[in-house]
Structure 1
Amino acid sequence: MLEVPGFEDPNKHSDSVESVKFKRKTNKSGGFQSMGLSFNVLKGVTKRGYKIPTPIQRKTIPLALEGKNIVAMARTGSGKTACFLIPLFEKLKIRSAKTGARALILSPTRELAVQTLKFFKELGRFTDLKAALISGGDSMDSQFSVIHGNPDIIIATPGRFLHICVEMDLKLNNIEYVVFDEADRLFEMGFGVQMNSLLEKLPDTRQTLLFSATLPKVLVEFAKAGIGDPVLIRLDVESKLPSELDLAFLTVRSEERTAALLVLLKLHIDPKQQTIVFAATKYHVDYLHLVLDNVGISNTYIYSSLDASARKINTAKFVQHKVSVLIVTDVAARGLDIPHLDNVINYNFPDRSKLFVHRVGRCARAGRTGTAYSLVTADEYPYMLDLHLFLGQSLLIINSTNPKGNIGCIPQSLIEEQHGTIIMLHDTNPDLLHAKQTADKAYTKYLQTRPVASVDSNRRAKQFLTNKCGTHAFFKTQINHLQEERDNILHQMKSYRPQGTVFEVCSKTKSQDYLAMKATRAFHKAAKTAYQQNMEKTKSTVPEKSVHLQESVKSEIENVFGEIVTSKKRKVDYLYNNQLKKQKMKDENYIPYSAPDKFTEDGMAINNFQREASQAQFDLTADTAEDIKKVKQQMRWDRKKKKMVGVSNDSNVGKLKTEGGKWIPASYKTYRYEEWKEKTKAAENEDNNEDDPLNERVNYNNKSFRRMNHNSKNKNKKVKSELRSVDQIVKQKKIAEKKKLRQNKKLRRKMKK
């Protein structure tokens, strides 16, 4: 058949209209439209400004829509909150006031719970689902009324939510969807007991989602015990920090730390940018707040013991750009998403590598850029080395040979100027001086409880002290050539060590001390030169160690998770290829001195040695099996239960940890719920609503209704019988006889007188 220009062969395209429609449906757009979301949910997502899902959202949301249990791991700022809210809207769909709560979201801190509720209202504003916030610091009476409103979703912190469950005797049988947000932080804060007790109350048919930025072994064990057949989603494991984040480590002296902070805030960082400053204790936060107020930098502050309403107000000030600096402790290091945050400053370097990741993860989120400045003193060098081992990055010190490193110092001239300002403030402001002294005392206590860095890092830190750090590239434009030469001379003076001893410097050449030291030096000269030559050879021949960091052992993960979802760029076995190659080359009898994932596990560890050692015991009194059995079967008398109960070695067994950190019995009740019901007549409202098929509201203010209700109660009351039994009559006779005897005794005493 001849082909006519401008016309197609009809036999060539014989597909029906239905097949064409089917092909159009299968075309993937790569956005939220291809996930099969309902109209109201998709409208809320697009109105929020989301167009293309992040990698963790692209992997998690389809699996969650299928109803699978998920353990998702991705770095901070990757959009994990939307991963569990969007499937939540699709699962619940419409409001059900009679059923009660059908979803539970647990957050480690109150700020993160408030942020999740705000995000829920933004994404789900076109759905009629209702959410309630249950967190510490709020009135329990208001939370009772909120739960009586039968919300569809409860967003809560574990301590207060379990307290509410105990007070109200809540049954969680209708929960269909459970989310553990920032799960590793929940374990770190000591909520492991609460999480396990909640799992016992929740139904087995629930869908469970667990989100975390890291995956320590304790979470793997928790998923194995409490989540049925979970799917593990691991993304961005190789890069624990986003590529848009710039790291700057600035070496300072401990007494010049505050001056270095002022240099950054006044001379380097733009005042229009938003900055978070992390301090070690709340006393440091108070001190820095006073310092910045005195130098004219707008700031506010947050720490855990601050009142809940004050924390909310101060956070709102920073989010709404009324202040440019927020000073916090580690209470804000997890989960908070502050839009357009530009900088993070570590005033005190964190003692754990994982904590550093979560601190600096507050900026450079959702594709934005940011900078993290860390002020490092001499006692914090080992922790900086541990951090680089954890991140798998090389240590680059700025000097004349390597001007492009990330570890440098601030010009001394800039620090001296700000240090003089601080000294003047201390002299003129006694309140500021008192806050400084309090912060110094708190820092000594903090050093006593700070965990110790690794042995290798402590050893290598001594070598790091001898290295000279040059001026960081950030400050090259703020100093001229003369100032740079002056700083170099000062560095040389600090590192100068005279070759002669005390006996030689101020002595005459013919004195006995000088001659004795000269003879000793000549005697040891050969050994000294040989040692120096040997050290130079080892430095030139020994290559630097390269440590391949791994998250967890492969066998443990495969035993727990049947399905593992990763990015297409890397396979599942990518993390273990190097380890398998090494095992083939090694001898079978070779035992390594440390695990290949040592630095990663140390950085992600939740249980430390001190905590495990405090739980361990060594009983010398029980030597045989029978004696050990007797010790375990010890009993004691319980006054409340009026019977003998077993003695437990663990003092926290059967107890729950509150938001304030106190341990209370699991059956602890203050009967505040019963008092609230009497005040608000909530029980009568429930009974009337159940009897009324139309669920009409009853007007309790009506006088006729009150009289009718009062008369009906009086009718139901039992009238006491006036007839007395034989025992009652005998008892009354005995009482009357005793009264007569007492009266006769009194009369006799009066007659004698």
Structure 2
Amino acid sequence: MGRKAEVEDDLPGFEAPAQGETAENDVSIQKKQKKGSGGFQTMGFSFHVLKGITKRGYKIPTPIQRKTIPLALDNKDVVAMARTGSGKTACFVLPIVEKLMSPVNKPLQGKNLRALILSPTRELALQTLRFVRELGKFTGLSSAAILGGESIEQQFGVMSGTTPDIVVATPGRFLHICIEMSLKLDNIKVVVFDEADRLFELGFGEQLREIVARLPSNRQTLLFSATLPKMLVEFARAGLSDPVLIRLDVDWKLPSTLWLGWIYVRAELKTAALLLLLDRVLTPNTQALVFAATKHHVEYLHLILQQAGISSTYAYSGLDPAARKIALGKFTNKRCSVLLVTDVAARGLDLPSLDTVINYNFPAKPKLFVHRVSECGDACPSGVWGAMPTTALELRHQDVMAWEKNHSEIEDAVRVSGRGWQQYVRWREAASAEANRKAKLTTPPTAPHPFLVGKGHMQAAELVDQIKSFRPKGTILELANKNDSPMYLAMKAKRRVHGKMVQKTRDSKMQQAEGMLEDNTKTNSNEESANVKGSKRKKLAKRDENYIPHFASDQHTESGMAVNFAASASSAELELRSDCDAGQRTHRTQMRWDRKRKKMVHVDPDGGRKMIRTESGGRVSASFRSGRYAEWRKRNAVQEDDEPADGPPAASERNVSEFRPRWMKHNERLSKKKAEASSNEFRNKQQIVKERLRKDKIKQKLKHKMSKKKKKK
């Protein structure tokens, strides 16, 4: 009988193999594969590592793995940006296993810990640990997890004996272990920050900096993240040496498959316009994601959609994590049609099959818009600029006004969201002068968007648009008076003199609004100043051929062609603002103006002292020890002493107390009994029964004394 095929579950570091593939097909595919086809065999892995990869049935690396693994094997520091599910786990697990297998990185005596992987959550750490053990199955490397919420004494045992080669840990508990045990990290070769943006978002920045300070300088650092906030860029500059930035989404352009619809509406009619859009796009099998500016707008829209009969849920940064998880679960399981979120709450959402995205409030940055939008159908051409149907919009607006007037909750939400919008306008980044100029020159559309109306309504809308855009040749002064009136004659003379200039100005404004005229103000002003009669031109200073300038003549060209992490990271930064005024005020209090750097920097709340945040949320000194490890060692030493020895101990191995005076031995025995009585781990049944009887006798004596006192009284 043949052996049954092992059923193996999918791993997060690789794409899942297609179902129905047999071993014969795998062998045929491997034979057809060329030597330079970009498989794992061409990356220089050893036999044991390749055996672990092929055991799982994976052969073709993902794009992020093709770019990252060769650099990691070349001992370079890497900052990699890729979305969740793109195979980032294998990008650091495979190089770690390969590097620890080499004879150069053999473990020293008592210093077996050679690789550290830091994860933001327990679930991700356990998932990574499972992946490490699967790929390193044939390498003989040991691995362990140091996680918060588990027995710290058990973790003392893991780290005090033969420490594992690879440790997957959460930052808070690992730093606690390092401080309590005075753990030295001198032999660590590779350190990985997995989901680094989540690590900083969850408040592990202080722990990460303290851990980095304990690491050796000759280590290799790998940093993986989905986004690149500014704080993470500063951390990478300080903790990494000449890092290489790898981005899969290198361009911030919108995809060609994206359908966009631009709808113009007044601010007071936006809620009614949202209801009309949802009525148009929602079907029993479709869903929509709505972005709002603040958490107050999210709560207000949730109440409005409840009155409109549209099932919805919401999430924002101040919401409880369990509630956010429930809301996302309802939306992904299609128990509701609309999900209302802010930019901060949508940071960790992965909704690949989303139908429609609606921006109730437009984002402050172009990068945020790229992160928000999703794909849609082709009901009309993409990028059309239109308005809402007036009649339907007014009817919906009347419903919204009635709800705001008759329901106290909605009335309060309107007032709070209005105040929140005022604060949001203050803290968001101001638009550039060029954007303001274009906005003033852009004429708002009068025709409704073709996505919202039918063909018959479009003809009527075009006729109304032509009537609205009609401009008579004469002014009101010419139309309301007779031909011989002084006002008519004055306007006619004015038109005769300045008519061409007025028409030229109108044409130029129309061309600027349509985007057909380029802005040549600077060049025109320079030409006009040069052509002015009598203007004095300054003579250019002639430099001597022996003159050596401070900067090279091709300085800007060389800096533009150079591979610079700072320049690449600045273009990839994505800083998310808070979605409430309280969060923004907290952010402002953490910043101060640095005169030397000429920018805002973070304030040190501890005044230069090294302080860290514990797992319970309190702040203690970075060198604080609770003494739990010393107690654990003492208990383990007592347990080892109680075990019977094979033979009589030598004179040099005897207990020191045997050579001490009698009273010293007596005190040691008493202290030993107290320690055993206080600890419940090493007590047998007889000791427990004896202790209970002793306590019962004490209670009976107390009762007897109390009864005697009562009789005397």
TM-score, normalised to structure 2, is 0.60
* Cα separation, partners in 2 of 1:320 and 1:482, compared to 1, 3 Å: closer
2:71 to 63, 69, 76: 63
Q: Does 1:209 align with 2:181?
A: no
Which whole-Å CA distance do the structure 1 matches of 2:412 and 2:463 have between them? 36
- Structure 1: state its 5+ residue gaps: 1-21, 108-112, 135-140, 364-369, 374-397, 547-551, 563-596, 619-647, 711-753
Question: Alpha-carbon deviations, 1:477-516, whole Å to 9, x = none?
Answer: x633342244445656776789998x969x963899x955
* Cα separation, partners in 2 of 1:422 and 1:683, compared to 1, 3 Å: farther
Q: What SS class does the counterpart of residue 347 from structure 2 fall into?
A: coil
Q: What letter corresponds to residue 429 of structure 1 in structure 2?
A: H
Question: Alpha-carbon deviations, 1:133-190, whole Å to 9, x = none?
Answer: 66xxxxxx6585796585965465x7x6798579858747275543345657878999
Q: What letter corresponds to residue 418 of structure 2 in structure 1?
A: D
Which whole-Å CA distance do the structure 2 matches of 1:417 and 1:40 have between them? 65
State the 1:29 CA deviation.
5.6
Asked if the contact 2:298–2:341 (Cα under 8 Å) also holds between the matched residues in 1, the reply is: yes
Q: Does 1:425 align with 2:403?
A: yes
1:250 to 251, 263, 274: 263
Q: How does 1:40-439 map to 2 (within 5 A)?
A: 40=52, 52-65=60-73, 67-73=75-81, 79-80=87-88, 82-84=90-92, 87=95, 102-105=115-118, 113=121, 116-117=124-125, 120=128, 123=131, 126=134, 131=145, 153-154=167-168, 156=170, 171=183, 173=185, 176-181=189-194, 196-212=209-225, 223-238=236-251, 240-338=253-351, 340-360=353-373, 370-371=375-376, 405-439=383-417
Which whole-Å CA distance do the structure 1 matches of 2:215 and 2:643 have between them? 30
State the 1:449 CA deviation.
1.0
Q: What letter corresponds to residue 468 of structure 1 in structure 2?
A: P
Q: Does 1:532 align with 2:500?
A: no
State the 1:329 CA deviation.
1.7
State the 1:615 CA deviation.
0.8
Which whole-Å CA distance do the structure 2 matches of 1:72 and 1:471 have between them? 44
1:509 to 478, 481, 484: 481
Aligned to 2:445: 468
Q: Does 1:702 align with 2:673?
A: no
Aligned to 1:555: 559
State the 1:302 CA deviation.
1.9
State the 1:436 CA deviation.
2.3
Which whole-Å CA distance do the structure 1 matches of 2:483 and 2:642 have between them? 112
* Cα separation, partners in 2 of 1:281 and 1:702, compared to 1, 3 Å: farther
* Cα separation, partners in 2 of 1:351 and 1:691, compared to 1, 3 Å: farther
Q: What letter corresponds to residue 507 of structure 2 in structure 1?
A: E
State the 1:460 CA deviation.
1.0
Which whole-Å CA distance do the structure 1 matches of 2:87 and 2:64 have between them? 7
State the 1:605 CA deviation.
7.7
State the 1:324 CA deviation.
3.9
Which whole-Å CA distance do the structure 2 matches of 1:313 and 1:689 have between them? 48
State the 1:281 CA deviation.
1.1
State the 1:64 CA deviation.
2.8
* Cα separation, partners in 2 of 1:498 and 1:61, compared to 1, 3 Å: same
Asked if the contact 2:181–2:629 (Cα under 8 Å) also holds between the matched residues in 1, the reply is: no
Q: What SS class does the counterpart of residue 272 from structure 1 fall into?
A: coil
Percent identity over paired residues: 39
Question: Alpha-carbon deviations, 1:345-402, whole Å to 9, x = none?
Answer: 3222111222223334xx5xxxxxx3499xxxxxxxxxxxxxxxxxxxxxxxx9xxxx
Which whole-Å CA distance do the structure 2 matches of 1:172 and 1:146 have between them? 19
State the 1:271 CA deviation.
3.9
Asked if the contact 2:129–2:144 (Cα under 8 Å) also holds between the matched residues in 1, the reply is: no
Which whole-Å CA distance do the structure 2 matches of 1:244 and 1:51 have between them? 30
State the 1:614 CA deviation.
4.6
Question: Alpha-carbon deviations, 1:174-215, whole Å to 9, x = none?
Answer: 755433456578789998766544422333343311235677
2:436 to 458, 462, 475: 458
Q: What SS class does the counterpart of residue 250 from structure 1 fall into?
A: strand
State the 1:238 CA deviation.
3.7
2:608 to 635, 643, 654: 654
Aligned to 2:654: none
Q: Does 1:483 align with 2:457?
A: yes
Which whole-Å CA distance do the structure 2 matches of 1:84 and 1:652 have between them? 35
Q: What SS class does the counterpart of residue 425 from structure 2 fall into?
A: helix
* Cα separation, partners in 2 of 1:63 and 1:601, compared to 1, 3 Å: closer
Most deviating of 351-360 and 193-202 = 193-202
State the 1:704 CA deviation.
4.8
* Cα separation, partners in 2 of 1:187 and 1:309, compared to 1, 3 Å: closer
Q: What SS class does the counterpart of residue 344 from structure 2 fall into?
A: helix
Which whole-Å CA distance do the structure 2 matches of 1:68 and 1:602 have between them? 20
How many residue pairs get matched? 552
Q: What letter corresponds to residue 519 of structure 1 in structure 2?
A: A
State the 1:331 CA deviation.
2.4
Most deviating of 27-36 and 297-306 = 27-36
Q: What letter corresponds to residue 424 of structure 2 in structure 1?
A: Y
* Cα separation, partners in 2 of 1:342 and 1:188, compared to 1, 3 Å: same
* Cα separation, partners in 2 of 1:310 and 1:171, compared to 1, 3 Å: farther
State the 1:428 CA deviation.
3.9
Q: What SS class does the counterpart of residue 334 from structure 1 fall into?
A: helix
TM-score, normalised to structure 1, is 0.57
* Cα separation, partners in 2 of 1:605 and 1:142, compared to 1, 3 Å: closer
Q: What letter corresponds to residue 559 of structure 2 in structure 1?
A: S
Most deviating of 169-178 and 56-65 = 169-178
2:490 to 501, 509, 519: 519
State the 1:655 CA deviation.
6.8
State the 1:444 CA deviation.
1.2
Asked if the contact 2:592–2:603 (Cα under 8 Å) also holds between the matched residues in 1, the reply is: no
Asked if the contact 1:334–1:359 (Cα under 8 Å) also holds between the matched residues in 2, the reply is: no
Which whole-Å CA distance do the structure 1 matches of 2:246 and 2:470 have between them? 55
- Structure 2: state its 5+ residue gaps: 1-29, 102-106, 138-142, 159-163, 521-555, 578-583, 597-601, 645-678, 693-713
State the 1:706 CA deviation.
7.0
Question: Alpha-carbon deviations, 1:539-598, whole Å to 9, x = none?
Answer: 49976589xxxxx99638847579xxxxxxxxxxxxxxxxxxxxxxxxxxxxxxxxxx99
Which whole-Å CA distance do the structure 2 matches of 1:40 and 1:652 have between them? 48
Q: How does 1:678-693 map to 2 (within 5 A)?
A: none
Give RMSD over aligned pairs.
5.8
State the 1:457 CA deviation.
0.9
* Cα separation, partners in 2 of 1:345 and 1:54, compared to 1, 3 Å: farther
Q: Does 1:447 align with 2:428?
A: no
Aligned to 1:722: none
Asked if the contact 1:56–1:74 (Cα under 8 Å) also holds between the matched residues in 2, the reply is: yes
Asked if the contact 2:261–2:382 (Cα under 8 Å) also holds between the matched residues in 1, the reply is: no
Q: What SS class does the counterpart of residue 118 from structure 2 fall into?
A: strand
Asked if the contact 1:131–1:153 (Cα under 8 Å) also holds between the matched residues in 2, the reply is: yes
Which whole-Å CA distance do the structure 2 matches of 1:427 and 1:321 have between them? 32
